[in-house]
Amino acid sequence: MKKVNAILNNPVYLDHIEKNIGEEKERSFCRHHFDHLLDVARITYILILEEGNPFISREMSYAAGLLHDIGRWNEYREGVDHASYSAELAEPILTEAGFTAAEKGLIKKAISEHRLKDESSKHRSPLSLALSRADSFSRLCYRCEASKMCRKFDRQPTRNSLKY
């Protein structure tokens, strides 16, 4: 997990997480702190293993999860789409961590598509699909105090029970 630990120790990465924490101090809905990123990383890899995909490594799964929301702070500040912005911010972090160009391409595409609900597209990779499913599975909606105000609650796979 050398490349994953390089991400975790990258000061730029840590700064994005601090910015997310700062912007979400008053937020009552889902937050996008480190715990969420790690939950998504682990569930993404579980899904990849369950699906038996030998082309997506553990490090690629973790990189996608750990980086998928790093630009969320700028959605609050400037209204940018945080999925594509997070993919953009991920590029130099992935390069410094030592991921190849092919790995970076798949990871960044998965990050930029993590909010897409359409799973029927032939253009989505197994990593892209696993990342967006993991994002939903990671949330403990059935015990969330804000569930009554949440517009996404009825669509969440964890509205009644834990899945992963």
- Per CB under 5 A, residues contacting Fe ion are 69
Please, which residue, 69 or 113, has the CB nearer to Fe ion? 69
Which residue number is nearest to Fe ion in terms of Cβ? 69
Please, which residue, 1 or 116, has the CB nearer to Fe ion? 116
Give the span between the Cα atoms of 53 and 94, in whole angstroms: 22
Minimum separation from the CB atom of position 48 to Fe ion (A) = 19
Burial call 9-45: b when 16+ CB within 10 Å, e when fewer: ebeebeebbebbeebbeeeeebebeeebbebbbbbbb
Please, which residue, 39 or 69, has the CB nearer to Fe ion? 69
Give the span between the Cα atoms of 126 and 164, in whole angstroms: 18
Minimum separation from the CB atom of position 82 to Fe ion (A) = 6
Minimum separation from the CB atom of position 2 to Fe ion (A) = 26
